[in-house]
């Protein structure tokens, strides 16, 4: 809809205050250029991009018709023409300035809030309009920041998109006919009147750069608009006056912001930067005044705009109208601001569909009015571009449109019920008895003053309970809410209230006459301000005169359709029953048809301005016969337009009053005879007239019969024509599909042309590359035919240039490969790579490599053979092999030497210390696998003084770092199994011929056995010295003890001693016995049996238990024995018995009554040396336990916890016996309540007999 109905040229209060920019959630701060192209468009857009720099601060979006079944290379091709980044769009891509975006194939693209959105391509038959869809969304989203360009292509895609951009204030371009390969798309857009510039692509680029600098497209457009066109500027009033003078339309009460933006847009198009200059330009260029006028009359329209609103009409409005409607009373719909008629025809189609669904045969009429005469002419023609298929369903296109060259025409059935006329809504009289007024998106462009004046007009025009339909952003405001009641809030449908409209009828019958000159005079201004406008006075006078004296008249066109009427034409014309028609002959009252048709036919033969008159035509009206005079004059509105006819009706009585008076006077002079004679003549004339009428009536009937026959024939012809039309539509659809396919193929062909150019370049590069590299190469197809040979390949394979195209199996190559064909076939079939070293006939060596030949789609289409000269490499390899063999021999010798060495040997590389070689003794000594053994310094190695090694102190590290030679450095180390080992480590560097350190060798011996032997010897020496001391001590002590005991015995025999003295003597003798016992125990510890024997531990334990049997029984102790083995060892039986006797005795003493004694014998290994087997014995009790402090001292000599009863030698002697047998004794104890007890663990190794004998001899000697 367009805001066409403006106020008459009468200034009213102007809406004050700045008009805000249209609200938008994310309007870009830079222009977005939408480019539509089809066949030939790629080349044109490439030329356009080449003229643009990389800093235009605009974004470019190309929508190209693409083949949906192929990938597009547009982005790659366009990237070569510009420095700006070129991207193929993905969904939700934000638009950035100085970028180029390309639509991908098989999708539709729109823009919303500055973000590009993709949806799958809609399936359409013959019509796919991606350019229109994107440009319309661009117009809606970016408004005046949108720029549209249509380049080469066929059909009409993009026309509606450019129209939407222009209507929103954007700027539009089309490629000129001379530079476009296909001018269909640009020419359609130009013909639709929605193009601002028609230029070749390079000029479009330059114009874009110029327009970008204009304030209209500046980032702060609102502030720049207010700055360039301020409110109240007299120059703005001058522009409005120029518009009013030229078009009789006053824009004073139009929304100021819209008017200003349109003025700025025209200034940008005319390359004018200042308002003053533009006013002068308007005065000297009337065509620019007309262009500005058309720009302000925003033409935003389409078929079925907002489809839900039309569904609301069908479900809410039309059913309500039909409720109380007579079948013969037509439904009347008025569409003010109809623009080019899309809304009017949409209303007609919706109503017709509704009536057909209801099976209702009710006549209807639709009136479309608009200020623009050009728009009305287009609406009357009813021809629209192919792009309306985006808004009209295929079913409606088939039923209500006829396919014509370049577009569609509304069919005659719809066209006949729609009447279009130019009308100023506030100046011309409105229609009456209207059922529906559809005035959508007109009021949003008008100020409050005009809106307030329009609402009473609509109220007057509507029937009671009639309906008013407004746009989504409009509504009934102010006092108008008393005139209309809201019925549907979503679709803005209102119902007329039964109240007075308050309409003042000041409509004129003619347009105003304006004073000469461009600017109103000061006198005229004063007259306006005085409150009385001279034109209003003229208007009222004209209205009264025309009402009183002007005849009843109608204006018809060449097809006899009534276009306009004046006065009460109902006296002469009326609507005929049936389908509504404005044909003046069908509307003529009875008796008027013949003379009216005859007069029209005569007028058609006359020149314009020559009247044709018929007088005394008798018509029947309300049962009376009246005489009427007809006068018909042909005329033309403008040069080149069709002829029109003015038909004036007048009552013959008023026209012939004078003649009637003269006749009556003449009759008075005649006598009675004369009267009788005249009466007879009159009777004859009447009879002749009646006969003539009957004759004419028969002629008319015959003509009507003929007409009926012709009508039947015409209907048959129409039926055939409809069939032919249907066939033509199918052919046209097929043609469109072929054209669409041809466009896509042309686009593909352009891409292929560019790809072919790239392929030629790539082939040239490949030829030069293959010629420049010294590699023999042969390319084969799947049939093993030679496809390409490099110069080196021809020489080394022995092929000629003439061999290209021949199978390789028919040519004997210069290399010795008997199974070459089999190798190639295997590579092709298995997609593998084969390599082989081959020789030519002269014995020269080459490396033959056969690879599969893969396409970009990863399919195998042959094989590639390459030959690389490896003759020198082969010779070098032979020498290397010989050297390697020698080294291998030397290495084997070295390894054998290392294997036989008794010490561990490792060789490490300098300077990293990476271990190169180690013999098996390394793992045996360190009890670790080779890699871990390499990091010996990281495993707790200690110096001889027990200080840990630092990494740099390790002998190997020192030799690698400084070349130091280290000899026999003792190291203590914890092996992999946790046992300690003593090593003697030596290291030395290995130097090359220049004396540089290249490696180092380290050797180490296991000193553990030697250290153990030395420890045994030291212990033996200590024991021997202790034995000699004990013997000497026993000898020196026993003799005085014996003497002292004798003296005490004699003293005890004296009779003079009292009881007290005798008691002291007894105590003294007991102490002497105790000392003697200690001496005897020491001597016994160091005296041994002369020989060892096999001892069964189990028998020894049973013997000890039998010895302590009375104590066990008296204490009710529980004895638990577990003998996993007899525990046979080699040792001294008496000493072993003494060991277990001491341990059992201590355990029994610790037990409480009914306590438990546990004995366990098993074969085990030494925990210090797992390879050493022996017998382990556990003796445990659940007594009170031993504290930690006492456990640490319990094996010390003379330490006892029994007070005077203990000697402190039992466990010390026991420990010494066990250690002399090569074993060990350990104790664990707990004093925790409920878990107390003590456990002794004794281990005896399985000593050899010779070892036991040697130990006994050594001990005897020491004793």
For residue 777, what are the contacts with CB-CB under 8 A and spacing of at least 6? 770, 788, 789, 790, 792, 793, 864, 865, 866, 867
* The two three-digit tokens of residue 58, written as one number: 């605009």
DSSP label at residue 341: S
DSSP label at residue 951: G
For residue 528, what are the contacts with CB-CB under 8 A and spacing of at least 6? 11
Domain boundaries, the chain: 32-230, 300-504, 550-669, 775-869, 901-1006, 1027-1082, 1090-1262
Q: Which of 182, 204, 212 is nearest to 47 (CA)?
A: 204
- pLDDT digit string, tens, across residues 770-827: 777 677 888 888 888 888 888 777 777 777 767 788 888 877 787 888 888 888 888 8
Taking a C-beta distance cutoff of 8 angstroms, is the pair 743, 38 a contact?
yes
Residue 19 has pLDDT above 50, yes or no: no
Reduced to 3 states (helix: H, G, I; strand: E, B; else coil), residue 1206 is coil
Taking a C-beta distance cutoff of 8 angstroms, is the pair 74, 755 a contact?
no
DSSP 554-570: EEEETT-BEEEEES-GG
Reduced to 3 states (helix: H, G, I; strand: E, B; else coil), residue 707 is helix
| Band of pLDDT at residue 520, cut at 50, 70 and 90 | very low
Average pLDDT of the segment spanning 829-843: 85
Q: Which carries the bigger pLDDT value, residue 285 or residue 1081?
A: 285
Q: Which of 333, 504, 312 is nearest to 414 (CA)?
A: 333
At residue 239, the pLDDT reads: 86
Angle at 24 between CA 21 and CA 27, to 5 degrees: 95
Lowest mean pLDDT of 380-384, 855-859, 914-918, 946-950, name the range.
Answer: 946-950
For residue 1185, what are the contacts with CB-CB under 8 A and spacing of at least 6? 1229, 1230, 1231, 1232, 1236, 1237, 1238
At residue 942, the pLDDT reads: 72
Q: Helices in 403-447 by DSSP H: which ranges?
A: 412-416
Residue 1009 has pLDDT above 80, yes or no: no
Length of the chain, in residues: 1263
Lowest mean pLDDT of 7-21, 916-930, 998-1012, name the range.
Answer: 7-21
| Band of pLDDT at residue 1254, cut at 50, 70 and 90 | very low
| Band of pLDDT at residue 1026, cut at 50, 70 and 90 | low
- pLDDT digit string, tens, across residues 322-377: 887 888 889 999 999 898 899 999 999 999 999 988 877 888 999 999 888 888 88
Highest mean pLDDT among 617-626, 674-683, 1064-1073: 617-626
520 phi and psi angles, rounded to 5 deg: -60, 145
At residue 410, the pLDDT reads: 94
At residue 1077, the pLDDT reads: 60
CB count within 10 Å of CB 1109 equals: 11
Average pLDDT of the segment spanning 528-547: 50
- pLDDT digit string, tens, across residues 557-600: 888 888 888 777 888 888 777 666 788 888 888 778 888 888 89
Phi-psi label, residue 843: left if phi above 0, alpha if psi -120 to 50, beta otherwise: left
Average pLDDT of the segment spanning 171-193: 90
Measured CA to CA in angstroms, residue 354 lies from 246, 400, 464, 468 at distances of 43, 14, 22, 18
At residue 789, the pLDDT reads: 82
At residue 1164, the pLDDT reads: 79
Instruction: State the Cα torsion 24-26-31-34 to the nearest 10°.
Output: -90
Name the strand (E) or helix (H) holding 503.
Answer: none
Reduced to 3 states (helix: H, G, I; strand: E, B; else coil), residue 337 is coil
Second-level CATH architecture of 550-669: 2-Layer Sandwich (3.30)
Residue 1087 has pLDDT above 50, yes or no: yes
At residue 1032, the pLDDT reads: 56
At residue 1135, the pLDDT reads: 83
Average pLDDT of the segment spanning 1072-1087: 62
Please check whether the domain covering 901-1006 is classified as CATH 3.50.50.60.
Answer: no
**Which CATH number is associated with domain 300-504?**
3.40.50.150
At residue 1237, the pLDDT reads: 92
Phi-psi label, residue 501: left if phi above 0, alpha if psi -120 to 50, beta otherwise: alpha
Measured CA to CA in angstroms, residue 469 lies from 379, 489, 901 at distances of 21, 11, 112
Which residues partner with 904 through β-bridges?
A: 1004
At residue 933, the pLDDT reads: 59
Burial class (CB in 10 A: 0-12, 13-18, 19+), 27: middle
| Band of pLDDT at residue 1022, cut at 50, 70 and 90 | low
223 phi and psi angles, rounded to 5 deg: -65, -35
At residue 843, the pLDDT reads: 82
Whole-number percent of the chain with pLDDT over 90: 17
At residue 229, the pLDDT reads: 75
Lowest mean pLDDT of 407-416, 449-458, 691-700, 1230-1239, name the range.
Answer: 691-700
Residue 234 has pLDDT above 70, yes or no: yes
Q: Quote the CA–CA distance of 1030 and 1074 in Å, as a whole number.
A: 16
Name the percent of the chain in helix, strand, coil, to the closest 5.
45, 20, 30
CB count within 10 Å of CB 1060 equals: 8
Place of tokens 């000493």: 1135
For residue 1027, what are the contacts with CB-CB under 8 A and spacing of at least 6? 1086, 1259, 1262, 1263
Per-residue buried b or exposed e for 947-965, using 16+ beta carbons within 10 Å of the residue's own CB: eebeeeebbbbbbbeebee
Query: Average pLDDT of the chain?
Result: 78
Taking a C-beta distance cutoff of 8 angstroms, is the pair 98, 82 a contact?
no
CB count within 10 Å of CB 1064 equals: 11
Lowest mean pLDDT of 530-544, 859-873, 974-988, 1226-1240, name the range.
Answer: 530-544
- What is the topology classification, in CATH, of domain 1090-1262? Heat Shock Protein 90 (3.30.565)
Place of tokens 């296991």: 1006
At residue 601, the pLDDT reads: 87
Fold match, 775-869 / 901-1006 = yes
Place of tokens 């201590």: 1146
At residue 303, the pLDDT reads: 92
Q: Quote the CA–CA distance of 769 and 790 in Å, as a whole number.
A: 10
Note if the bond before 911 is cis, omega within 30 degrees. Answer: yes
Place of tokens 């009789």: 248
- pLDDT digit string, tens, across residues 1152-1185: 888 999 999 998 776 656 667 889 999 999 988 8
Residue 915 has pLDDT above 70, yes or no: yes
Average pLDDT of the segment spanning 164-176: 91
- Which superfamily is assigned to 32-230 in CATH? Methylesterase CheB, C-terminal domain (3.40.50.180)
Please check whether the domain covering 775-869 is classified as CATH 1.10.3470.10.
Answer: no
Whole-number percent of the chain with pLDDT over 70: 77
pTM of the predicted protein model: 0.45
- pLDDT digit string, tens, across residues 1183-1222: 888 888 888 888 877 777 776 566 667 788 888 888 888 8
């Amino acid at each position: 809809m367009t805001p066409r109905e403006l106020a008459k040229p009468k200034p009213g209060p102007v809406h004050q205050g700045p008009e805000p920019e249209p609200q938008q959630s994310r309007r870009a701060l830079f222009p977005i250029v939408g480019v539509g192209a089809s066949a030939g468009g790629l080349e044109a857009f490439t030329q356009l991009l080449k003229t643009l720099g990389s800093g235009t601060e605009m974004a470019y979006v190309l929508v190209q018709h693409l083949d949906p079944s192929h990938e597009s290379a547009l982005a790659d091709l366009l990237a070569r023409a510009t420095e700006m980044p070129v991207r193929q769009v993905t969904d939700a891509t934000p638009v950035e300035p100085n970028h180029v975006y390309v639509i991908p194939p098989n999708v539709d693209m729109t823009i919303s809030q500055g973000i590009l959105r993709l949806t799958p391509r809609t399936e359409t038959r013959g019509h796919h309009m991606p350019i229109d869809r994107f440009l319309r969304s661009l117009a809606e989203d970016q408004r005046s920041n949108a720029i549209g360009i249509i380049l080469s292509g066929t059909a009409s895609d993009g026309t509606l998109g450019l129209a939407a951009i222009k209507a929103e204030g954007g700027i539009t371009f089309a490629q000129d006919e001379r530079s476009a390969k296909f001018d269909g798309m640009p020419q359609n857009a130009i013909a639709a009147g929605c193009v601002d510039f028609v230029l070749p692509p390079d000029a479009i680029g330059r114009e874009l750069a110029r327009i970008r600098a204009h304030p209209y497209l500046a980032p702060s457009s609102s502030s720049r608009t207010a700055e360039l066109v301020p409110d109240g500027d007299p120059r703005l009033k001058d522009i409005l006056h120029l518009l009013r003078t030229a078009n009789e339309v006053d824009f004073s009460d139009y929304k100021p912001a819209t008017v200003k933006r349109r003025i700025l847009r025209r200034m940008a198009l005319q390359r004018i930067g200042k308002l003053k200059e533009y006013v002068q330009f308007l005065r000297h260029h009337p065509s620019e005044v007309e262009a500005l006028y058309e720009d302000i009359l925003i033409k935003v329209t389409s078929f079925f705009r907002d489809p839900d609103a039309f569904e609301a009409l069908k479900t809410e409005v039309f059913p309500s109208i039909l409720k109380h409607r007579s079948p013969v009373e037509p439904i009347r719909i008025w569409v003010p601001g109809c623009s080019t008629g899309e809304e009017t025809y949409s209303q007609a189609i919706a109503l017709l569909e509704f009536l057909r669904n209801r099976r209702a045969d009710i006549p209807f009429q639709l009136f479309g009015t608009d200020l623009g005469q050009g728009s009305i002419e287009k609406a009357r023609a009813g021809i629209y571009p192919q792009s309306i298929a985006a808004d009209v369903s295929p079913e409606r296109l088939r039923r209500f449109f006829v396919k014509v060259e370049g577009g569609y025409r509304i069919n005659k059935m719809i066209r006949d019920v729609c009447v279009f006329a130019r009308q100023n809504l506030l100046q011309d009289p409105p229609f009456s008895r209207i059922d529906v007024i559809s005035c959508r998106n007109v009021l949003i462009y008008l100020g409050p003053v005009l809106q307030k004046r329009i609402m009473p007009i609509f109220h007057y025009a509507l029937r009671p309970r009639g309906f008013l339909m407004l746009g989504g952003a409009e509504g009934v405001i102010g006092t108008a809410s008393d005139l209309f009641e809201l019925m549907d809030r979503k679709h803005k449908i209102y119902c007329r209230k039964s109240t007075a409209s308050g309409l003042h009828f000041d409509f004129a019958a003619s347009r105003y006459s304006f004073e000469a000159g461009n600017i109103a005079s000061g006198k005229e201004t004063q007259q306006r301000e005085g409150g009385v406008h001279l034109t209003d006075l003229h208007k009222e006078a004209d209205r009264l005169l025309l009402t009183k004296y002007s005849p009843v008249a109608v204006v018809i066109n060449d097809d006899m359709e009534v276009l306009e009427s004046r006065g009460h034409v109902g006296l002469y014309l009326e609507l005929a029953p049936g389908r509504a028609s404005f044909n003046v002959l069908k509307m003529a009252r009875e008796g008027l048809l013949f003379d009216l048709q005859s007069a029209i036919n005569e007028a058609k033969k006359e020149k314009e301005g020559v009247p044709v008159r018929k007088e005394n035509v008798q018509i029947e009206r309300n049962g009376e016969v009246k005489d009427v005079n007809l006068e018909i004059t042909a005329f033309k509105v403008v040069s080149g337009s069709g002829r029109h006819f003015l038909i004036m009706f007048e009552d013959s009585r008023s026209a012939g009053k004078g003649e009637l008076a003269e006749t009556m006077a003449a009759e008075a002079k005649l006598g009675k005879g004369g009267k009788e004679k005249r009466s007879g003549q009159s009777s004859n004339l009447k009879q002749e007239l009646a006969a003539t009428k009957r004759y004419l009536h028969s002629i008319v009937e015959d003509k009507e019969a003929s007409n009926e026959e012709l009508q039947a024939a015409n209907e048959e012809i129409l039926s055939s024509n409809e069939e032919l039309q249907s066939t033509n539509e199918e052919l046209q659809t097929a043609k469109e599909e072929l054209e669409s396919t041809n466009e896509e193929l042309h686009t593909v062909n352009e891409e292929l042309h560019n790809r072919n150019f790239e392929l030629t370049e790539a082939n040239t590069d490949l030829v030069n590359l293959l010629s420049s590299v010294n590699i023999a190469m042969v390319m084969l197809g799947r049939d093993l035919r030679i496809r390409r040979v490099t110069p080196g390949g021809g020489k080394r394979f022995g092929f000629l240039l003439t061999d290209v195209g021949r199978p390789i199996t028919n040519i004997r190559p210069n290399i010795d490969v008997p199974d070459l064909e089999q190798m190639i076939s295997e590579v092709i079939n298995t997609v593998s790579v084969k390599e082989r070293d081959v020789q030519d006939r002269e014995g020269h060596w080459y490396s033959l490599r056969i690879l599969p030949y893969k396409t970009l789609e990863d399919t195998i289409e042959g094989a590639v053979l390459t030959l690389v000269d490896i003759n020198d490499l082969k010779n070098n390899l032979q020498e290397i092999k010989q050297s390697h063999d020698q080294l291998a021999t030397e290495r084997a010798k070295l390894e054998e030497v290392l294997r036989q060495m008794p010490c561990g040997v490792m060789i490490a590389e300098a300077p990293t210390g990476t271990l190169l070689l180690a013999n098996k003794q390394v793992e045996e000594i360190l009890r670790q696998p080779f890699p871990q053994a390499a990091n010996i310094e990281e495993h707790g190695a200690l110096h001889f003084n027990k200080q840990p090694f630092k990494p740099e102190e390790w002998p190997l590290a020192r030799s690698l770092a400084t070349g130091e030679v280290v000899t026999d450095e003792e190291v203590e180390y914890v092996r992999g199994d946790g046992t300690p080992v003593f090593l003697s480590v030596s290291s030395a560097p290995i130097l090359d011929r220049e004396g540089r350190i290249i490696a180092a060798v380290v050797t180490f011996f296991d000193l553990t056995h030697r250290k153990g032997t030395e420890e045994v010897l030291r212990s033996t020496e200590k024991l021997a010295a202790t034995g000699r001391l004990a013997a000497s001590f026993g000898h020196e002590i026993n003799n005085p003890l014996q003497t002292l005991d004798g003296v005490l015995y004699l003293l005890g025999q004296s009779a003079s001693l009292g009881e007290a003295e005798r008691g002291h003597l007894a105590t003294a003798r007991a102490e002497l016995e105790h000392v003697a016992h200690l001496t005897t125990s020491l001597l016994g510890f160091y005296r041994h049996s002369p020989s060892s024997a096999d001892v069964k531990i189990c028998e020894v334990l049973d013997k000890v238990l039998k010895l302590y049997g009375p104590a066990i029984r008296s204490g009710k102790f529980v004895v638990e024995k577990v003998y996993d083995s007899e525990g046979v060892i080699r040792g001294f039986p008496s000493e072993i018995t003494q060991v277990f006797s001491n341990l059992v005795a201590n355990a029994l003493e610790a037990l409480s009554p009914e306590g438990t004694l546990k004995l366990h014998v098993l074969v085990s290994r030494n925990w210090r040396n797992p390879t050493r087997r022996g017998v382990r014995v556990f003796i445990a009790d659940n007594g009170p336990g031993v504290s930690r402090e006492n456990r640490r001292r319990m094996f010390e000599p003379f330490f006892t916890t029994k007070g005077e009863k203990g000697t402190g030698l039992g466990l010390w002697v026991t420990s010494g016996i066990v250690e002399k047998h090569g074993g060990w004794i350990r104790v664990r104890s707990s004093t925790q309540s409920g878990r107390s007890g003590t456990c002794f663990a004794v281990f005896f190794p399985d000593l050899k007999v010779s070892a036991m004998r040697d130990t006994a001899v050594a001990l005897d000697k020491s004793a």
